[in-house]
Amino acid sequence: MTAVRVRRVARVSTTVFAMAMTAALLLATGACSGGTTGNDATSTANATTRLPVTITSADGRHVFLVERAVTPAQQAEGLMYRTDLKPDGGMLFHPYPAEGGAPREASFWMKNTPTPLDILFIRADGTIATIAENTVPYSTAEVKSREPVAAVLELVGGRTAELGIAEGDKVTWR
């Protein structure tokens, strides 16, 4: 082989190696980012399908178009890493717990969640049991329902106060 050809082969091999390493690194960081890895088709479907949720309060009816967290993996991730939340968006955790069964006390945290949230804990009859308002971003402090709940709704922080939503208000969805 001539010296020019050897350098060209070495350069191509180095480029192919660099591309392979970049692809491997992207796959590895994607799996750790908390984003959808493609292993859970339901996660992708829920991220694009919005469910209308209505809260009836003393101030009227408030409709939110939210994502649904159904599986244990979706419920563990929730709205972590999200910075694109809309004022009338959010996430509904139903059934809660994802494995089913009777309502139980819920405990959430804000780890890896950059946006303050209002977390509404919902009883089996659809009424709001507890509202944790403006939870602290990135906090690992537990946010508890204080009683058994059948669903949890996460909204952008401050929305419940802004709309006059309170404990005891009715939450419905299909």
CB 39 within 8 A of CB 74: no
Look at the pTM and tell me if it is higher than 0.95: no
Stretch 153-163: mean pLDDT: 98
CATH class of 48-173: mainly beta
- Among residues 103, 111, 153, which one has the least CA distance to residue 132? 153
Q: Give the residue with greater pLDDT, 36 vs 71.
A: 71
Say which DSSP state 135 is in.
P
Is a pLDDT exceeding 60 seen at residue 43? no
- Among residues 128, 167, 132, which one has the least CA distance to residue 149? 128
Q: Give the per-residue pLDDT at 48.
A: 54
Q: Give the per-residue pLDDT at 6.
A: 38
Question: What residue spans of 33-125 are helical by DSSP H?
Answer: 41-48, 72-77
Q: Give the per-residue pLDDT at 115.
A: 97
The domain segmentation of the chain, as residue ranges, is: 48-173
CB 32 within 8 A of CB 4: no
pLDDT averaged over every residue in the chain: 81
Quick: pLDDT tens for 49-106.
Answer: 799 999 999 999 999 999 999 999 999 999 999 999 999 999 999 999 999 999 999 9
Q: Give the per-residue pLDDT at 49.
A: 79
Q: Give the residue with greater pLDDT, 13 vs 76.
A: 76
Quick: pLDDT tens for 103-133.
Answer: 999 999 999 999 999 999 999 999 999 999 9
Query: Which percentage of the chain shows pLDDT scores above 70?
Result: 72
